[in-house]
Amino acid sequence: MTAKILFVTGIDTDVGKTIATGWYAKKLAAQGFRVITQKMIQTGCEKIADDIVQHRKIQGIDLTEDDLVGTTCPYLFAYPCSPHLAAELENCQISTALIQQATEKLAQKYDYVLLEGAGGLCVPYNQSETTLDYIQQQNYPLLLVTSGKLGSINHTLLNLMVCRQYHIQLQGLIYNRYPLGDEMINRETERYLQQYLQQHFPTATFEVLDKMV
């Protein structure tokens, strides 16, 4: 039996998506599951994806053989920009078939594969397709990472509306409380989003990342 593959994205940059991915992987592992994280595409680094390194630190494990040979990050680009531009700068065309093959290879070894995207739902990986298209094509359940910073209610609801419009299954909403910022806004945002989720996505979980990892 192959793994359950969950796609992880965030409402915006710097919302804590990479931290949340490692945290969720560690949480699943503590329940007895075999878990691996994967990065769809990484820009702005070389050799081994920075986000994969961060995942392993949070999980408390060493880099795996699949990390070292690139299975957990099929595409790595040096320039820190959108994947479609980073690929063009290196005269590379991103093949979603290659990403899918790498994910399926991992799925044969683990109970869960957490596939983290690059940026948000509508980040392009070529001139005509975005991460949203890939999630739709693969029919992956989604973990959406949000936070209590000012503006996050709007961004979160827009992402959730996209999920409804494109019939993407929402596995869960991960609410990252850090950095804390304005405590009143943080708490009210958490309450509001939890209420919204219960009303519109009753089968999805509401996860709170409530400590530094």
Written as one letter, the residue type at 89 is L
CA atoms within 13 A on the CB side of 62: 3
Does 5 appear as a known binding residue? no
* Residue of 156, 158, 113, 164 whose CA lies nearest to 136: 164
Is 111 a known ligand-binding residue? no
Q: Smallest Cα–Cα separation from 9: which of 212, 162, 188? A: 162
Sort residue 60 into left (φ over 0), alpha (ψ -120 to 50) or beta: left
Question: Is 164 annotated for ligand binding?
Answer: no
Cα separation, 67 vs 61, in Å, equals 12
The reply, when asked if residue 62 is annotated as ligand binding, is no
Kindly calculate the radius of gyration of the chain based on its CA atoms and give it in whole angstroms.
16
32 carries a ligand binding annotation? no
176 is in an annotated binding site: yes
Is 151 annotated as belonging to a binding site?
Answer: no
Q: Is 15 annotated as a binding residue?
A: yes
Active-site residue list: 39
The answer to the question of whether 4 is labelled as a binding residue is: no
Annotated binding-site residue? 17: yes
Q: What are the helix (H) ranges across the chain?
A: 17-30, 50-59, 65-68, 83-89, 96-107, 131-138, 152-165, 183-200
Give the residue numbers of the binding site: 14-19, 43, 51, 116-119, 176-177
Give the residue numbers of the binding site for ATP: 14-19, 51, 116-119, 176-177
Give the residue numbers of the binding site for Mg(2+): 18, 51, 116
Give the residue numbers of the binding site for substrate: 43
